[in-house]
């Protein structure tokens, strides 16, 4: 299962009661953080999530509302006792941006490993999850991310018996580990549908969002503005309207949609929820600390 927590829902600047947008995804005791604006530490604390469990930080882009909280967070992760390396992913220039922030951090007890993405789409894995970074359309290089917890095929008892696989090896093989000269493929069926979520903010709508979010369990998309008269403003500033996000969720055939990254000029985004549900019924206006447990479907 995946435990997903939307730590904040603000775009551009934090407001009293509204932290900047970031996501904390937990799976089997390991966590991935997407973006880290000012105040993300407080949001992690409010949501009762762990600092030391963060194995990877994924950055969408380098606008301050997505990265300026990093120096303080790194110090807190260090204080939480981390010594294992921390992986960071983001657009080209990531090591330079973080390097500049390190002037106010100093020495850390863990190594940072940087993975920089050029324009395009990239597959990788982090914290035990399959991941994709895909190019968005913002005022600077920006990526969306898809995370998937894969699911192995069903254990075929009949086949295992036929091959004479000792029963004490069944569990190991089911866990995807070779044992006693047998490989998991010998006794497992086709891989089954996993759990997937997609996160994309700070972008105009692009086809890739629905493509990567196809049949996803959860889409988390930017809903910068809700008022139709803000359309031109959204286009100029390379941001997305709530209605555009709902249309993407419909096209992707996602299970559900959470909206986030609301403009400070939108104090009550929940006012748009009913209108948006006419486009995509399972739309939820995000709230700070909102969480969900996503499980495998039979
Ligand atoms: Zn932003
Ligand atoms: Zn931005």
Encode pLDDT of 229-244 as tens digits: 999 999 999 999 999 9
Neighbours of ion ligand 2 (CB under 5 A): 63, 202
Q: Where are the beta strands (DSSP E) in the chain?
A: 2-8, 22-27, 30-34, 54-58, 86-91, 112-117, 121-126, 129-135, 143-151, 192-200, 218-222, 257-260, 283-285, 290-294
Q: Compute the mean pLDDT over every residue in the chain, rounded to the nearest whole number.
A: 96
Predicted local confidence at residue 292, as pLDDT: 98
**Does 293 have pLDDT greater than 90?**
yes
Q: In the prediction, which pLDDT does 91 show?
A: 98
Q: Which of 3, 35, 55, 65 is catalytic?
A: 65
Which ligand is located closest to the Cα atom of residue 66?
Answer: 1
Residue from 1, 3, 58, 6 nearest 220 by CA: 6
How many residues in the chain? Answer: 298
The DSSP result for 89-134, as a single string, is: EEETTHHHHHHHHGGGT---SS-EEEEEE-SSEEEEEETTEEEEEE
User: By CB neighbour count within 10 A (0-12 exposed, 13-18 middle, 19+ buried), where does 24 fall?
Assistant: buried
> Which pLDDT value is given to residue 176?
86
Residue tagged 């692009």 (tokens):
206
Whether this prediction's pTM lies above 0.85 is answered by yes
19, 262 in Cβ contact below 8 A? Answer: no
Å from CA of 240 to ligand 1 middle: 11
- Assess contact for 290 and 269: CB atoms under 8 A: no
Active site residue 65: yes
| C-alpha 202 to ligand 2 mean position (Å) | 5
Closest ligand to 261 CA? 1
**How far is ligand 2, taken at its centre, from the CA of residue 63, in Å?**
5
Q: Give me the torsion for CA of 80, 73, 289, 281, rounded to 10°.
A: -130
Ligand number with the minimum distance to the CA of 13: 1
Per cent of the chain over pLDDT 70 is 100
Round to whole Å and give the CA distance between 207 and 110.
Answer: 38
Tens-digit pLDDT profile for residues 185-225: 999 998 899 999 999 999 999 999 999 999 999 999 999 99
Tell me how far apart the alpha carbons of residues 18 and 262 are, in angstroms, rounded to a whole number.
9
**Nearest-ligand number for the alpha carbon of 138:** 2
Mean pLDDT, rounded, for 77-89:
96
Q: What separation in Å is there between the alpha carbon of 178 and the centre of ligand 2?
A: 45
For residue 269, name the pLDDT band (cuts at 50, 70, 90): very high
Residue-wise pLDDT for 126-140, tens only, equals 999 999 999 999 999
Comparing CA positions, the residue from 170, 130, 125 lying closest to residue 148 is 130
Q: Please state, in angstroms and rounded to a whole number, the distance separating the CA atoms of residues 260 and 224.
A: 7
Mean pLDDT of 25-47: 97
CA distance 175 to 191: 12
Instruction: Compute the distance from residue 90 Cα to the ligand 1 centre, in Å.
Output: 15
pLDDT at 175 over 90: no
Mean pLDDT calculated for residue range 286-294: 98
Tokens read off for 196: 């997937």
What three-state secondary structure class fits 231?
helix
What's the gap in Å between 261 CA and the centre of ligand 1?
7
Predicted confidence band at 298 (pLDDT cuts at 50, 70, 90)?
confident
**pLDDT over threshold 90, residue 86:** yes
């Amino acid at each position: 299962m995946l435990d997903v927590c939307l730590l904040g829902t603000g775009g551009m600047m934090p407001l009293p009661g509204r932290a900047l947008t970031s996501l904390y995804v937990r799976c089997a005791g390991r966590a991935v953080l997407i973006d880290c604006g000012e105040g993300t530490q407080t949001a992690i604390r409010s949501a009762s999530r762990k600092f030391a469990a963060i194995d990877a930080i994924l950055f969408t882009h380098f606008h301050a509302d997505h990265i300026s909280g990093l120096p303080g967070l790194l110090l807190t992760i260090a204080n939480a006792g981390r010594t294992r390396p921390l992986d960071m992913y983001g657009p080209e220039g990531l090591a330079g941006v973080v390097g500049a922030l390190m002037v106010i951090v100093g020495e850390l007890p863990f190594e940072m490993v940087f993975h920089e993405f050029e324009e395009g789409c990239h597959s990788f894995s982090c914290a035990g999850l399959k991941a994709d970074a895909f190019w968005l359309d913002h005022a600077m290089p920006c990526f969306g991310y898809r995370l998937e917890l894969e699911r192995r095929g069903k254990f075929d008892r009949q086949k295992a018996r036929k091959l004479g696989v000792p029963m004490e090896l069944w569990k190991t093989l089911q866990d995807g580990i070779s044992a006693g000269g047998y490989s998991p493929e010998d006794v497992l069926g086709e891989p089954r549908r996993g759990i997937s979520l997609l996160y994309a903010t700070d972008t105009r709508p692009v086809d890739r969002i629905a493509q990567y979010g196809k049949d996803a369990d959860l889409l988390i998309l930017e809903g910068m503005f809700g008022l139709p008269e803000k359309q031109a403003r959204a286009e100029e500033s390379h941001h997305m309207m709530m209605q555009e996000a709902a249309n993407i969720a419909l096209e992707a055939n996602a299970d559900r949609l959470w909206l986030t990254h609301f403009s400070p000029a939108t104090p009550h985004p929940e006012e748009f929820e009913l209108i948006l549900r006419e486009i995509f019924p399972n739309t939820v206006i995000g709230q700070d600390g909102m969480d969900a447990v996503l499980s495998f479907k039979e």
